[in-house]
Amino acid sequence: YSDVWGLEAEFRKLKIKSYCYGFFTANGCIKYGKANDFEWQNGYWGNRVVRQADAFLGWSCERYSGCNSKGTFRSQLDETACQTDKNFVTLVVFDYSEQLQHLDYDQASNKLLDIEGHLVNSYINQYGKRPPCNFAKVRGEYAVNKFSAFFD
């Protein structure tokens, strides 16, 4: 895509509402995240990941020039030396819209938090640290690490 509008159009076409995602470069994962919101009802599909994707360099135009989420992620990218052109980034989306549609908002969000935690834990198990732009512990990560600490 030349701009993030194409990414949003893809979310709209595929009707992706509840998802986890990861941004990857040739060096591996930069960040895992999740989203479960109702912004699609107002015409903003994939809004969370689209705002964060807009933080990468190389788009023909910026969509969210004053967006706090984009600004925070851009700062994280700069701080961790992960800032790169969007053409060198792969976005992987795990769509759980269908599996979670029968759950209420809190239940679906909790499931996605658990999945995000599993993704971060898998990364930690392989590399001994969180992905560079996953600064805070995610719920699933905390629960697993707290539990395993009892047996060390």
Does this model's pTM top 0.85? My answer is no
The confidence score (pLDDT) of residue 72 equals: 76
pLDDT tens, residue by residue, 91-149: 999 999 999 999 998 999 999 999 999 999 999 999 999 999 887 776 655 444 444 44
Q: What pLDDT score does 70 carry?
A: 64
For residues 20 and 31, what is the distance between their CA atoms, to the nearest angstrom?
A: 11
Q: How confident is the model at residue 2 (pLDDT cuts 50, 70, 90)?
A: confident
- Inform me whether the pLDDT recorded for 151 exceeds 50: no
pLDDT for 66 beyond 60:
no
Structure-token pair, residue 71? 């600004």
Is the C-alpha dihedral spanning 53, 56, 58, 60 positive or negative? positive
